Amino acid sequence: MSLRLGMMIRVMGPQSTRETISDCAAAAEEAGIDDVWVSDHVAIPPDDAEGSGGRYLDPLATLAFLAARTERVGLGTAVLNLPYRPPLPTAKWLATIQELSAGRLLLGVGLGWMRPEFKALGVDRRRRGALADGTLEFIERCFARDEVEANGQPFLFLPRPGRPPIFVGGQPPHALERAVRYGDGWMPMVRHPADLEQPVAELRRLAREAGRPEPEVVALSGLDTRDASRMAERAAAFAGAGVTRLVHGAGYRDASEFRAHAEAIASLRPRS
């Protein structure tokens, strides 16, 4: 199976301790999982804290930490909400993680959706699309050359490793258009593989018309790790729908339970 397999690591709630996230990343790497992914919230309101208690680690700081705790596994954001952060410090964070991880960063991006977060940040939610586009344009410029200009001021963007692949989250049609314009693929959250048939066809059409390579499709979904046959059938259905990377997201109590999920998912690999 050519489908690349990833897993979400919880950066919220009681599973977001230093020891647990480190052990989960190590378990994924040891099992042969291709990449691990983290989500992004910065300001959970008290009335919406069920399941997390309002405890969230910063995704970029977490990936920088995991870069030092692992050697092979890819390190992804699913997704980094671009309007939450100023473009230049964000680009510097990304370049630093990419540099220190030896090129393992995978950048899933989104617009954000939670109104209280936008309010806490003092960001106009109505401008989230324009803000995200501006950040994506700026990131592209930073990774393209050593000298960049921002606000009329030239500066050196160093270190300048290779730009990480960019996967744009969100719903059609805007996410598909943004993925072709700025990224390397689309990152939908999806329950049923069949739901991808029409949007994947549209994504490929847009890419062809723009003269771009065929985009990746990174699906955020779930697999039933208790049933090997059903798990393999579902993974094959995602691959058949055009998915190139499948990211398993599910709750777990501790690192040992995460390890069991990782070993089950890794069993989808053909035996050599």
Q: Does residue 158 carry a pLDDT above 80?
A: yes
pLDDT > 70: what percent of the chain?
99
pLDDT at 50: 94
Q: Does residue 137 carry a pLDDT above 70?
A: yes
The pTM (predicted TM-score) of the whole model is 0.97
d(CA 235, CA 241): 10
- 268: helix, coil or strand? coil
pLDDT at 68: 98
| Tokens of residue 106, six digits | 């995978």
**pLDDT mean over 98-120:** 98
Domains of the chain and CATH, by start: 4-266 (3.20.20.30)
Q: Does residue 272 carry a pLDDT above 70?
A: no
Give pLDDT tens digits for 20-64: 999 999 999 999 999 999 999 999 999 999 999 999 999 999 999
Give pLDDT tens digits for 206-256: 999 999 999 999 999 999 999 999 999 999 999 999 999 999 999 999 999
Omega prior to 270 cis, within 30 of 0: no
Q: Which residues contact 182 (CB under 8 A, 6 or more apart)?
A: 133, 136, 137, 140, 166, 168
Give pLDDT tens digits for 195-209: 999 999 999 999 999
